[in-house]
Amino acid sequence: MAHVLVMGGLNADEIVPVDAPPRAGAHLRAGPSHVRPGGGGANAGVALRLAGHRVTLWVAVGDDADGRWLIDHCAALGLDIDGLHALPGATTNRPLILVDPDGERTLIARRSLPHDAVPAPPLNHPADALLVKTFNPAFTPMMAARAVAGALVVAHAPPSSLETWPATVWVTSEREQTDAERDDPWGWARTRAGEALRWLVITRGADGAEALGPGGERVAVPAVPVTRVVDTTGAGDVFAAGLTHGLVMGASIDAALAMAARWAARAIQAEGSLPPADLLRGDAPDTLGGAV
């Protein structure tokens, strides 16, 4: 197994079940709220740990009760917390997440810590692969160096404020793309990710996902059918983790996409921001397919 450095969020998610999807002018009834661990980095990191990888979280929390609770929880889950920074005087992020009866979530960001609150990892960090679920410009030199060297660098597509975001694999959602990005998705990604980019992965919800390559390759996989959607929180993070797992283990892009789809489908059928303990249920060692 690999050593994966995961850079992203670690939050105290405040969950409120509501009786209908939020809409303008609506009057919703809410059930009892509760707080649970979450955040893009934690969601993806736990998924990779469940697959047997060594996972170092590189994230920031506040030096408060929420932050101390999250650090203890991550350690109990077997995550390497050497890169977890508790910032003195800071308040841990606590987003408000509304979950409707169909399992769809509405996230209301209540960010206390900016993306650049955590310092960049050292360039010589011993991780085999990077999974980047945040947008800190200070991470760019490390991402560029690893990508050029041929290491796996999986990153979520950045906002327009970041002109350069080096990676070997970009992941984005069809819903997040602008019209210009839809017109020339590969060109748009390659310009900002650099020449080391090997795949642009676009998730399409119920229509599955597709990977675009530098030679015009297009590899699509369908979504995995589910019996019931319970909670979609963190599904995209778990998808990115499944993709990273497949690629770092030497799988072909279609096999890695299929695994990512399975992991995401399992995650949305369980309650919680973090993936369920039986995330890999039904996956055998030979499900990764052939090597790239």
The stretch 116-141 carries a mean pLDDT of 96
pLDDT of residue 210: 97
Whole-angstrom CA distances from 145 to 126, 153, 162, 188 are 13, 10, 17, 21
56 CB-near residues (< 8 Å, 6+ apart) = 3, 4, 5, 6, 79, 80, 82, 83, 125, 127
| Integer Cα distance of 69 and 51 in angstroms | 24
Residue 288 scores a pLDDT above 60 = no
Delimit the domains of the chain by residue range.
Answer: 3-20+33-114+124-278
pLDDT score recorded for residue 63: 96
Residue 289: its pLDDT value, please?
A: 46
- Rounded to an integer, what is the distance from CA 154 to the centroid of its chain? 10
Q: Determine which of 30-39, 76-85, 162-171, 275-284 has the lowest per-residue pLDDT on average.
A: 275-284
Q: Greater confidence, 282 or 61?
A: 61
Q: What is the mean pLDDT of the chain?
A: 94
Specify the pLDDT at position 178.
85
Render pLDDT for 147-196 as a digit per residue (tens, 0 to 9): 999 999 999 999 988 999 999 999 999 988 888 888 999 999 999 999 99
The whole model's pTM is what? 0.94
CA distance 100 to 262: 23
Q: Is the predicted pLDDT of residue 94 greater than 70, yes or no?
A: yes
- The whole-number average pLDDT for the span 133-153 is 97
Q: Name the CATH superfamily, with its identifier, for domain 3-20+33-114+124-278.
A: Ribokinase (3.40.1190.20)
DSSP one-letter code for 259: H
